[in-house]
Amino acid sequence: MALPKYRISKAKGRSRRANYLRITSANLSECPQCGAKKMPHRACPECGFYKGKKVIFKKEKKTETKKQKQK
């Protein structure tokens, strides 16, 4: 097994490692239906459209007021 000829300083090793382990931001595209930001090749979390078709159907919550509950 090969051994390093010289000792690598902490700064050299850490700077090399920093390029490999850097965090990149997510590539977001704009939804053509609602304009919200979404991941590419995935359905829009806001409106549920993918490639011009509705693929996710969200159930709307019905909120009742106190007066409607008492009746």
| CA separation for the pair 37, 46 (Å, rounded) | 9
Q: Per the domain annotation, does 6 fall within a domain?
A: no
| CA separation for the pair 61, 48 (Å, rounded) | 16
Q: Per the domain annotation, does 46 fall within a domain?
A: yes
Q: Per the domain annotation, does 14 fall within a domain?
A: no
- pTM listed for this prediction: 0.49
Domain that holds residue 51: 26-58
User: How far, CA to CA in Å, does 50 sit from each of 1, 5, 32, 33, 42?
Assistant: 52, 56, 9, 9, 7
* Assigned token pair, 53: 């078709």
Helix, strand, coil tally for the chain in percent (to 5): 25, 10, 65
Q: Per the domain annotation, does 15 fall within a domain?
A: no
Q: Per the domain annotation, does 66 fall within a domain?
A: no
Convert the pLDDT of each residue in 19-68 to its tens digit: 887 788 888 999 998 889 999 999 998 888 998 888 888 777 667 666 66
